[in-house]
């Protein structure tokens, strides 16, 4: 668990608690042009978690951790990016995957064949010690 540092002015991609845009492209299809955005791999949204608990509430330690990270993300957006999030709701809070879930996607998923994701795959492989790239 990272400690909140209110005077911090520099962040890396893993401690800002904000979704990372990796790439974007324009897809020209039969139904017009579509602007597509590629984001990092994330899990379900908070609403799905609430549904799994039958809308009866989450364990207090989980509520505290989610609240802490959401507030850190909002602080980053406001103080560093000068952006005010105006649509905060459970559907817009995405959870990170566990290292095992990421490992399964990297090992079994389609990402291994995609040139655009090579750097991010190396980062995940190094971070979670997966496959041939984890030494590089």
pLDDT of residue 134: 47
Q: Is 87 a catalytic residue?
A: yes
Q: 70-115: per-residue pLDDT in tens?
A: 999 999 899 888 999 999 999 999 988 877 877 777 777 655 445 5
What single-letter DSSP state applies at residue 35?
E
Give the span between the Cα atoms of 105 and 14, in whole angstroms: 19
pLDDT of residue 136: 43
pLDDT of residue 132: 62
pLDDT of residue 80: 87
- Candidate list 12, 61, 87, 100, residue with the active-site label: 87
pTM for this structure?
A: 0.66
Q: 28-87: per-residue pLDDT in tens?
A: 989 999 999 998 888 889 999 999 899 998 899 999 999 999 999 999 899 888 999 999
Segment holding 32, helix H or strand E? strand 32-39
pLDDT of residue 84: 93
Cβ burial 8-33 (10 Å sphere, 16+ → b, else e): eeeeeeeebbbeeeeeeeeeeeeeee
pLDDT of residue 2: 62
Residue 124 has pLDDT above 70, yes or no: yes
């Amino acid at each position: 668990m990272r400690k909140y540092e209110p005077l911090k002015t520099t962040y890396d991609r893993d401690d800002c608690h904000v979704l990372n845009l990796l790439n974007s492209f324009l897809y020209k299809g039969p139904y017009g042009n579509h602007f597509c955005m590629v984001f990092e791999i994330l899990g379900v949204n908070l609403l799905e978690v609430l549904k799994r608990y039958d809308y009866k509430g989450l364990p207090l330690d989980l509520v505290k951790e989610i609240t802490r990270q959401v507030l850190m993300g909002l602080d980053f957006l406001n103080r560093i990016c000068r952006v005010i999030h105006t649509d905060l709701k459970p559907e817009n809070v995405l959870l990170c995957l566990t290292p095992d879930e990421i490992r399964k996607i990297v090992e079994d998923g389609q990402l291994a064949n995609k040139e655009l994701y090579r750097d991010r795959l190396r980062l995940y492989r190094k971070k979670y010690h997966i496959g041939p790239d984890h030494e590089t």
